[in-house]
Structure 1
Amino acid sequence: MVTFAACGTNTSTKQQETADTTKVPAFNVADIDTAYKACDDFDNYANGNWKKNNPIPSTESRWGAFNILDKQNKEVRLKGIITEITGKKELKKGTEEQQIADYYTSFLDTATIEKRGITPLKPYLDKIDGIKTLADWAAVTGELQKLGVSTFTGFGAEADAKNSKMNVLYQAQSGLSLGERSYYERPDSATKNVRNEFVNHVDKMFSLAGFPDVKPGTTVLGLETQLALIQLSNVELRDPVKTYNRSGYGELRTLAPDFDWDAFTKKQDIKADTVILQNKEYLTNANKLLKATPIDVLKTYTKWQLLTSFAGYLPKAFDEENFHFFGTVMTGKKAQKTRTERAIRSTDMKLGMPLGKLFAKKYFPESSKEKVSQMIENVRKVYGERIDKLTWMSDSTKQMAHKKLASFTYKIGYPDKWKDYSSIQIDKGTLLENAVSAMLWEHKDNIDKIGKPVDRSEWGMTPQTVNAYYNPLNNEVVFPAGILQPPFYNPNADDAINYGGIIAVIGHEFTHGFDDQGSQFDAEGNLKNWWTKTDRENFDKLTKRYVKYFSGIEVLPGFKINGSLTIGENVADLGGMTLAYYALKKSFEGKEEPKPIDGFTWQQRFFLGWAQVWHGNITDAALRQQIQIDPHSPARDRINGPLPHLKEFQDAWGCKAGDKMVLPDAERVTIW
């Protein structure tokens, strides 16, 4: 998780109730494919016709509820906001409107981008060319870190996991273009092809830039492979205890004495006496690797990292080659979005919060905050009741679980205060420099937090984001305005559909506070054990069974879900559905149960609501990538995966022993 501290003092703006009034159907029964049995394959039963009628657009690698809503938020709503702003004249320099308008304009000014070529990168390339020693390399890569250019390690400030009220400096492994160690070592033909394509891609990019390096693709892949093999896997990185190594700054010099840490950190304006090291062994091994690596290899690698970081801001040939590899080879996209669509998304990436302020004001009604707050409190109440009924947890640990649950805070819609972006320098004709200025602002915003109290009002997502998150360091759940729309939250839908949608999402985020990672943090957000030894062993036995269950699901030939990587999200899905189901059931107490709608009972519609928010199609390339780097299971398995463990699903649909989505009671996993 990444969170960003606010440095501005802008007060919140009263939001206008101008949300869309278009009515969206609660659930479209035409999406159902009765060729499938609900008890054998619920995803294809509930969504089969939707998937047939909604093929993946050529510009996408996956297509589902999240993508469709994101497209509406970005390419329709944000586009309208940006278009309105760019139509204004004489915008004052440094205002958010001027920054948005001129950044957007600079992205669309392809004539100037073509004319300038790679000239905007020349100051950085000259510094790379001037490297003669490992100490020189440390200084140059440190300076490039401020621009978001990756190298073997990186620094960032965040709340101290063992003193969550204060920010501290963290160190982490980095520098892999393919994203995860498995891409560098898997022997299957599909992954080998990715590596071969990567070599060709690097060679092509260097050729376009006119760089004289010989076989740069082979050089870069070789160094990154050596780095990958000494890094922690993405499963090992899930362990917050293993990756928390509080040290004095001087220990960096002890562990990696041949790397000039002072030059590296000074160029980043980092001043800290303490640093949380992710993996000491990695630093020692990286030191040996860097010392043994020729300087020319390190220079080639650094030029590549610079080039790939800014490829999207360079002339068309670079941009298209960058898309070919990272878009087509890695994820299966067939075509780029239009320049206008990409201009909107790039503006959103660099100036997301200023845009978010306008988005929330126009599209998120104040009344929705109250409604979502009520939903959250309903989930909190049911979670407490579920804790009381647990048979595997002792009373003393239950007491601490209740304390943590009661301490949960939440944020809904948009921040209460907004950051000050006025120092970002944006001009119409300098796209790459505009991106650099935004990156420098973001770097300073983060580094300035070191040693200062945590601002718990800060947000880690923009209001227009179609997502939600749990932050264990704040013990908070956060729901941006972007996700509080159909099909996740539909004010015109019956309760069963909404409980299967947004309430299950809320329950999902609550459960993250008690998953394999979140359960290691206490009510104050500190990494601290609050479990008895027996209770933790009981919990681990349950999660290991769930790991084994998901690890048996093959999504493509030779590619199975990594149950250890996805355990947190899988536990949260199972918990979220359980909480939402019983919150819905509780809401009917003292009332007459709802009558069937479209022939479906409220129990059945609850599960249709769950299936609806996860319906989607995905390319094989994107699916292979997801399996290797993403802690979330594929959408199909987020629908079907938890259901056999819920007797409530079996009862709702009349499933019987022998049906594919029925497990014997002894094999079901119930955690929360």
Structure 2
Amino acid sequence: MAGAASQRGDAYSSRAPGPTSSLLGIRLCSICSSIMENPGFILPERKYYLGDRDSPVLMALETLGRRVAMEFGADETVAVKDMRDVVDLEIDLANISMASEDRRDNEKLYNLYTLGELKNHFPESTKLDFSWRGYFQGIFGLKGIGINITDDEEIIIREVPYYSRLMETLEKYDKRVVANFAVWKLMKNRARNLPDRFLDHLGDYGKVLYGSPRVRARWRRCASYVVDYMGLPVGKLFVQKHFDEEAKKGMHNMIDKIEGAFKEILSELSWMDRETRKVAKEKVEYITRRIGYDDDILDKEKLDRRYENVTVEPGDYFNNVLRMLKLSVIDELRGLRQSVYHLNWESAPSTVNAYYNAENNRIMFPAGILQPPYYNKRFPRSLNYGGIGSLIGHEITHGFDDRGRQNDKYGNLKQWWNDDAINKFKNLTQCLVKQYGDFSMPEAGGMKVNGIITLGENIADNGGMKQAFKAYRQFVDERGGEEDSLPGLSLTNNQLLFINFAQIRCAVMHRQDAVNHILTGPHSPSRFRIIGTLQNMPEFSEVFNCPKGSFMNPVKKCRVW
């Protein structure tokens, strides 16, 4: 089991215990809700396992497993039974795991044990030859890692009830079923790197789960793997060709203004007491930034050292993928006990995304997102503030959403607000839970958005947009007047700001993809990210002259930040 779990969940079978959490800035060993937790579950959300046993999705999963097993020579009758047993095991594991809605309180998920305590509190299994010490040492003792795990090693358990019942659940099944589950996860996750007949099977499965095959052309998959696992040298080429160094200066300037706007907003809040407001402003001031790329990617010697153990063989695509995955896993596991403040960038420079890391109170904007339509130095500032500006505010606000607020200015998980402020904050967030929970998605058969699991992103969307608009108006005041209007458009710059906020988020979904998004996604569907945020902004209704009480200008508005 340790051997299987030593592989990244995306790569092989089980989710490895990883140094993904910290205490006082030091990376600890963290096993999340289970070796079977999303992304450990084969399906993207436990809810898929809790309905009809013969639902189309579960039957598609069984069919996929049977077909893949038969490609490797399995007897069809045996494969049918084996996959039925594997899915039954996953259903049982889903039933003892925590619901997504209950996983939003970091304090409840942060249960610290030493390995010695772990052995005494959570069952091991003679039947499955499983011991906690053997599990962890089997992983961290692998070649290339070589970390000795003792009984004093501190380990974070995310779901105490789950681990209390894990072994009794696994022991209900023969070893063959547990082994098949681990092997099936390996086969399923690596089938995408095998010949086209495997992709056809994945495509049929994808049609049921997502409404479309979701199988990309081989050249796109190959390019994606290069970016994912050799992102730094690819990033070097990207920034040399596409990144304007002036964007760094422009980003620092915008972040300064948006952080300043947020601190002013904190001063205006009537629900926050003076002491909590003071430490909240301090947290804003302690936010660190990473913009564009790590300067080390331009250093050829450092890049060569980073990839000196990588072997790429022309014509050996599958094993090239495995070698890169192995390097990635080893690099991650070797981070145990290292300071979280000196970790590598969490993404490649070419990534089109932005991030907030609560454990080191850091915002990140890779070079890939500092491009149109998010940002361009030649754009009117209104478009930049509506685009990248709203994202800057979004990431800053993640430090103050329902989960991020639990980490202090250093990133430590602790209570740094007083009880009254916490209670008022929670009461205000319930308005957003209800507002977004009332949105229904026609493409998903009228399913409603889950206002609980999307709460953090909804708080960030609302807070980020408010900060961006406030910062933009301050920019206009400082320059002494409005920017020139864009020729050929009868739109004000205030209107352009809101339009670009919507433009960077709009998307179209297939029916089943919409269902999957509502069941699994931490974000509200794009349509409601736009509508929900703008409904809560009086400034939007003012610049577009929305009548009071209309759909986009409801009388009751939600506001946390």
Superposition TM-score, scaled by structure 2 size: 0.90
What is the identity, as a one-letter code, of the residue corresponding to 1:576? G
Once the two structures are TM-superposed, the CA of residue 600 in structure 1 deviates from its matched residue by: 1.1
Aligned to 1:150: 13
Task: Give the one of 73, 88, 99 matched to 1:222.
Answer: 88
User: Greater shift after overlay, 453-462 or 222-231?
Assistant: 453-462
1:262 has 2:153 as partner? no
- Alpha-carbon deviation of 1:244? 0.7
- Structure 1 residues 86-105: aligned runs within 5 Å: none
Rounded to whole Å, the distance in 1 between the matches of 2:307 and 2:505 is 35
For residues 632-647 of structure 1, what are the structure 2 equivalents within 5 Å?
632-647=523-538
The yes-or-no answer on 1:394 pairing with 2:394 is no
Match of 2:68 in 1: 205
Q: Deviations over 1:179-231 (max 9, x none)?
A: 211111145x9x92111211111111111111243423312211111111111
2:107 aligned partner: 241
CA distance in structure 1 between the partners assigned to 2:209 and 2:440 by the alignment: 20
**8 Å contact from structure 1 (residues 146, 443) kept in 2:** no
- Structure 1 vs Structure 2 CA RMSD: 1.9
Query: Does the aligned pair in 2 maintain the 1:147–1:440 contact within 8 Å?
Result: no
| Contact 1:150/1:305 (8 A) holds in 2 | yes
Give the 3-state SS of the residue equivalent to 1:318 in structure 2: helix
Q: Is the 8 A contact 2:267 2:277 kept in 1?
A: yes
Determine the structure 2 residue equivalent to 1:616: 507
3-state SS of paired residue (1:662): coil
Deviation at 1:144, TM superposition (A): 4.8
**Paired amino acid for 1:262:** R
Match among 28, 40, 43 for residue 168 of structure 1:
28
| Distance change (3 Å), C-alpha of 1:176 and 1:155 | same
Asked if residue 375 in structure 1 is aligned to residue 254 in structure 2, the reply is yes
SS at match of 1:541: helix
Structure 2 letter corresponding to 1:627: I
Matching of residues 205-604 of structure 1 within 5 Å: 205-212=68-75, 213-215=78-80, 216-254=82-120, 255-258=122-125, 259-270=130-141, 271-272=148-149, 273-325=153-205, 327-334=206-213, 336-418=215-297, 420-456=306-342, 458-555=344-441, 556-590=444-478, 591-594=480-483, 596-597=485-486, 598-604=489-495
- Does the aligned pair in 2 maintain the 1:147–1:439 contact within 8 Å? no
Residue 450 of structure 1, CA deviation: 1.3
The partner residue of 1:628 within 500, 514, 519 is 519
Moved more, 552-561 or 609-618: 552-561
2:44 — aligned with what?
Answer: 179
Report if aligned partners of 1:650, 1:656 keep a CA contact under 8 Å in 2: yes
Deviation at 1:487, TM superposition (A): 0.5
Structure 2 Cα separation of the partners of residues 622 and 638 of structure 1: 17
Amino-acid identity (%)? 30
Contact 2:19 2:27 in 1 (8 A): yes
Can you give the 5+ residue segments of structure 2 that lack an aligned partner in the other structure? 142-147, 298-302
Q: Please say if residues 384 and 405 of structure 1, whose CA atoms lie closer than 8 Å, have aligned partners that are also in contact.
A: yes
Is the 8 Å Cα contact of residues 180 and 628 (structure 1) preserved in structure 2?
yes
After superposing on structure 2, the runs of 4+ consecutive aligned residues of structure 1 that deviate more than 4 Å are 143-147
Q: Distance in 2 between matches of 1:482 and 1:144?
A: 29
Whichever residue aligns with residue 560 of structure 2, its letter is I
Contact persistence 2:70–2:79 (CA under 8 A): no
Worse overlay, 169-178 or 572-581? 169-178
- What is residue 300 of structure 2 aligned with on the other side? none
In the TM superposition, what is the alpha-carbon distance from 1:560 to its structure 2 partner? Answer: 1.2
Aligned residue pairs total 527
TM-score using structure 1 length = 0.75
For the Cα contact (< 8 Å) 1:488–1:502, is it kept in 2?
yes
Distance 1:586 1:139 in 2: 56
C-alpha distance in structure 2 between counterparts of 1:144 and 1:508, whole Å:
33
Kept after mapping to 1: 8 A contact 2:440/2:446: yes
Structure 2 Cα separation of the partners of residues 251 and 383 of structure 1: 43
**Cα offset for 1:351?**
1.7
The alpha-carbon distance between structure 1 residues 670 and 455, as it changes in their structure 2 partners (threshold 3 A), is: closer
Q: What's the secondary structure of 2:275's corresponding residue?
A: helix
Alpha-carbon contact 1:166-1:453 (below 8 Å) kept? yes
* Greater relative contact order, per chain length (Cα 8 Å cut-off, separation 6+): 1
User: Aligned partners of 1:606 and 1:470: how far apart in 2?
Assistant: 23
Residue deviations 1:489-541, cap 9 Å, x none?
12222121211111011011011111111111111111111111111111111
Q: Report the CA distance between 1:425 and its aligned residue.
A: 2.2
* Aligned counterparts of 2:450 and 2:508: Cα–Cα separation in 1: 20
CA apart distance, 1:319:
2.4
- Is the contact made by 1:595 and 1:601 (CA closer than 8 Å) also made in structure 2? no
For residue 600 of structure 1, what is the amino acid of its counterpart? L
Does the Cα contact within 8 Å between 1:146 and 1:268 map onto a contact in 2?
no
Q: Which amino acid aligns with 2:20?
A: E
Name the amino acid aligned to 1:630.
Answer: G
Which residue identity lines up with residue 541 of structure 1 in the other structure? N
Query: In the aligned structure 2, how far is the partner of 1:609 from the partner of 1:650?
Result: 16
SS at 1:655's partner residue?
coil
CA distance, structure 2, for counterparts of residue 432 and residue 369 of structure 1: 38
How far apart are the structure 1 equivalents of 2:378 and 2:13?
46
The alignment status of 1:668 with 2:557, answered yes or no, reads yes
Q: SS in structure 2 opposite 1:169?
A: strand
**Structure 1 residue aligned with 2:145:** none
Which whole-Å CA distance do the structure 2 matches of 1:485 and 1:146 have between them?
Answer: 32
